[in-house]
Amino acid sequence: MTKRGAGGAARRDPFSRRLLFLTVCTMAGFLVLLGQLWYLQVLEGARLRDLSEKNRIRVRPAAAPRGILFDRNGLALVDNRPTFTLSLIPREMENREAVLARLHALLRIPLGELEDSLARVPADSFMPVRVRRGLSMEEVARVEEWKLELPGVVVEVEPQRVYPSPRLGAHLLGYVREVSEEQMRQGRYRRGDMAGQSGLERLLDEYLRGRDGGEEIEVDALGRPVRVMRRQEPRPGAHVVTTVDRRIQEIVERAMGDRAGAVVVLDPRSGDVLALTSSPAFELNRFTGPLGREAWLRLVRDPQFPLLNRSIQSQYAPGSIFKIVVTAAALQEGVITPFDRLRCGPTFQLGQRTFKNWEDADWGDIDLYHALVRSCNTFFYQLGLKVGTETMSRYARAFGLGEPTGIALSGEKPGRLPGPVGPGERAGARWKPGDTVNIAIGQGQLLVTPLQVARLLAAVGTEGILWKPRLVQRVESADGRLLYSEASRVSGYVELSPAVWAFLQRSLWGVVNDGGTGAAARLPGIEVAGKTGTAQLITNSDARRGQDHAWFAAYAPAADPQVVVVVLVERGGRGGQAAAPIARQILHGIFLEKVASGGPPG
């Protein structure tokens, strides 16, 4: 019996050990399970809950309508219209290669463009990446037809810029494009935002952009919308009332046609820019849709430089327009009187050099009035030597040349005047008589912009007031609240005696109305005062020799100036033949067409 009892205890011992082992394993498993639950609920709970919400909730941005630019009379210079935009949500694209390949086949979007768009954002981003703006209805229909095969592909409705004319005020208004990487680094923009890149669009981008809104949308397992959980309405951009007159802008661009050059129209009573154009211009609507790298490079490398705003960014010799400054300096300094006479022959000899007049006629001895009316170079060669380079430069600076006008557009050039005397040099030591002779007729080291010439003519018409050119009158929110306003501002005065101003004004009237070089600008019913200019080109190209820049600068009516018009035609030839007729067409449109339509001129 004892032996059997001992054997039973021995058989129970392995069973007990197994039971104990199973118990320990079960308890350990429960502990591991409890630990994992604690880890998931406590340590990782917030993160996992956030991931769950991201799988269930989609954030769909709603772009704010960009503010409208109006002319001074309330006409829209640029507006908005709804357009379709193709966007990708990286997080929802499980088979990215297949989705991109199908999009390429459906919409003919280069694979490289699609891949580049996604490469800029994390692969798990749930924010839409805008790939192509301006989809047609046909393209939208294709995407919607294959919707179930295109996870992560969405079509959004966004506002897009629309223009009355493709090139109307292109350099003045500027264009809008998706922000670059450099702009994003500034911290003011998000990827895919549209921002003004030039002109008024860039200058006023902070007001025009508005504030984007968005929706939080609950989706099902297939990513289909179930309900809108929350919506924040976008805040439209502010509206801008400019100084531009759309009617005059259209007249200017019709008159300029396909010629290369620039036109500026100012109100001499306030400095308001009524019109400003640069030709050739670019098409604004090219930037509203897709513009690939190759298309952009073709635009930038175009030999006619359509992106260049010639009215403020190109610098030209002023030619005979500078004779206004020389005349003012000579009279004010007492170097000459209106009754003194100098020879106006076909040539002028200075040492071994022969300087020519613009025509071969010999007018004999003439007075200052007729010299300015006929734009006699040989007369002004002599007068320039009497006045001196330093004095001419000083008066030019008084008229606002050699420095920016202060217009709000970016990239304005200052022009160039003969520089100041360096340390240890006596006055005029660096200038030879030949340099002075060239400067006297607006050649040599003189450079100006068309806008500077417009301000110069405005100063003559108003007897010395130099206005800061104004482009913006006020900025108003969408609900009509005033956000910003800008008053006209005088930036300087030209100090000349009343007799000198009267002489300049009478002489500029004579240029157009008394047998002068600007007769082609003569307008029945409206007396025009102005000055022609022909800027010689210095070039090594035989093909371009003789193709001088043509200037005409005028104000009207002569007795009570309401507008200043400056026309520059690149390689147009003589100012009186190429630029003056364009100015006449513009002035006819401003005054006579408006009178015919029943409105007051000006």
Boundary of a domain, candidates 217, 242, 267: 242
Residue 458 has what pLDDT? 98
- Nearest Cα residue to 330 out of 398, 386, 401: 386
Alpha carbon of 245 to those of 68, 74, 241: distances in Å? 15, 9, 11
Boundary of a domain, candidates 242, 264, 285: 242
Cβ-Cβ contacts under 8 Å for 139 (sequence gap 6 or more): 84, 86, 106, 107
Q: Which SS3 state, helix, strand or coil, does residue 196 take?
A: strand
For 2-5, which contacts have Cβ atoms below 8 Å and span 24 or more sequence positions? none
For 220-228, which contacts have Cβ atoms below 8 Å and span 24 or more sequence positions? 222/148, 223/58, 223/92, 223/151, 223/152, 225/58
In a domain, 296, yes or no: yes
Domain interval for residue 485: 246-596
State how far the Cα of 58 lies from the Cα of 127, in Å rounded to an integer: 8
State how far the Cα of 552 lies from the Cα of 561, in Å rounded to an integer: 16
The DSSP bridge pattern shows strands 347-350 and 353-356 to be: antiparallel
Q: Are residues 229 and 259 in the same domain?
A: no
Alpha helices in 146-232 (DSSP H): 170-173, 181-184, 199-203, 205-208
What b/e sequence results for 435-447 when a residue is b if at least 16 CB atoms lie within 10 Å of its CB, and e otherwise? bbbbbbbbbbebb
State how far the Cα of 444 lies from the Cα of 70, in Å rounded to an integer: 41
- What letter represents residue 118's amino acid? L
Residue 93 has what pLDDT? 83
Residue 73 has what pLDDT? 96
State how far the Cα of 547 lies from the Cα of 555, in Å rounded to an integer: 26
State how far the Cα of 17 lies from the Cα of 34, in Å rounded to an integer: 25
Q: Are residues 530 and 405 in the same domain?
A: yes
Boundary of a domain, candidates 219, 242, 265: 242
Tokens of 397: 């600076």
Q: Are residues 318 and 407 in the same domain?
A: yes
Residue 18 falls in which region: left (phi positive, over 0), alpha (psi -120 to 50) or beta: alpha
Q: Are residues 116 and 170 in the same domain?
A: yes
**Could you tell me if 196 and 301 are in contact, meaning their C-beta atoms sit under 8 angstroms apart?**
no
| Number of structural domains in the chain | 2
Q: Which residue has the tokens 């007795």?
A: 559
State how far the Cα of 216 lies from the Cα of 570, in Å rounded to an integer: 56
Q: Are residues 422 and 523 in the same domain?
A: yes
State how far the Cα of 594 lies from the Cα of 550, in Å rounded to an integer: 28
State how far the Cα of 16 lies from the Cα of 33, in Å rounded to an integer: 25
**Could you tell me if 594 and 256 are in contact, meaning their C-beta atoms sit under 8 angstroms apart?**
no
Q: Are residues 212 and 252 in the same domain?
A: no
CATH number of the domain encompassing residue 348: 3.40.710.10
Q: Are residues 420 and 271 in the same domain?
A: yes
Phi, psi (degrees; rounded to nearest 5) at 139: -70, -40
Alpha carbon of 354 to those of 118, 349, 350, 381: distances in Å? 68, 5, 6, 11
The DSSP bridge pattern shows strands 472-476 and 129-135 to be: unpaired
In a domain, 38, yes or no: no
Phi, psi (degrees; rounded to nearest 5) at 293: -60, -40
- Nearest Cα residue to 472 out of 221, 173, 289, 240: 240
**Could you tell me if 565 and 557 are in contact, meaning their C-beta atoms sit under 8 angstroms apart?**
no
Q: Are residues 272 and 212 in the same domain?
A: no
Q: Are residues 382 and 503 in the same domain?
A: yes
In angstroms, the first-to-last Cα distance of the chain is 135
For residue 590, the number of C-alpha atoms closer than 13 Å in the C-beta half-sphere is 29
Q: Are residues 369 and 454 in the same domain?
A: yes
- Taken in order 397, 403, 408, 412, the sign of the CA dihedral is positive
pTM of the model: 0.82
Q: Are residues 204 and 318 in the same domain?
A: no
In a domain, 34, yes or no: no
Residue 46 has what pLDDT? 59
Q: Are residues 258 and 109 in the same domain?
A: no
Q: Which residue has the tokens 């308890």?
A: 27
pLDDT per 10-residue tile (average), the chain, 602 residues: 50 68 75 69 57 57 87 94 87 84 88 83 80 87 87 85 89 86 74 84 91 72 65 87 97 95 97 96 75 74 89 96 98 96 94 89 94 96 95 96 95 86 50 89 94 98 97 94 94 96 98 96 95 79 64 97 97 94 97 60 44
**Exposed/middle/buried for residue 400 (C-beta within 10 Å: 0-12, 13-18, 19+):** buried
CATH number of the domain encompassing residue 161: 3.90.1310.10
**Could you tell me if 357 and 376 are in contact, meaning their C-beta atoms sit under 8 angstroms apart?**
yes
State how far the Cα of 476 lies from the Cα of 369, in Å rounded to an integer: 50
In a domain, 39, yes or no: no
How many CB atoms are located within 10 Å of the residue 483 CB? 12
Residue 113 has what pLDDT? 81
3-state helix, strand, coil in the chain (%, to 5): 40, 25, 35
In a domain, 52, yes or no: no
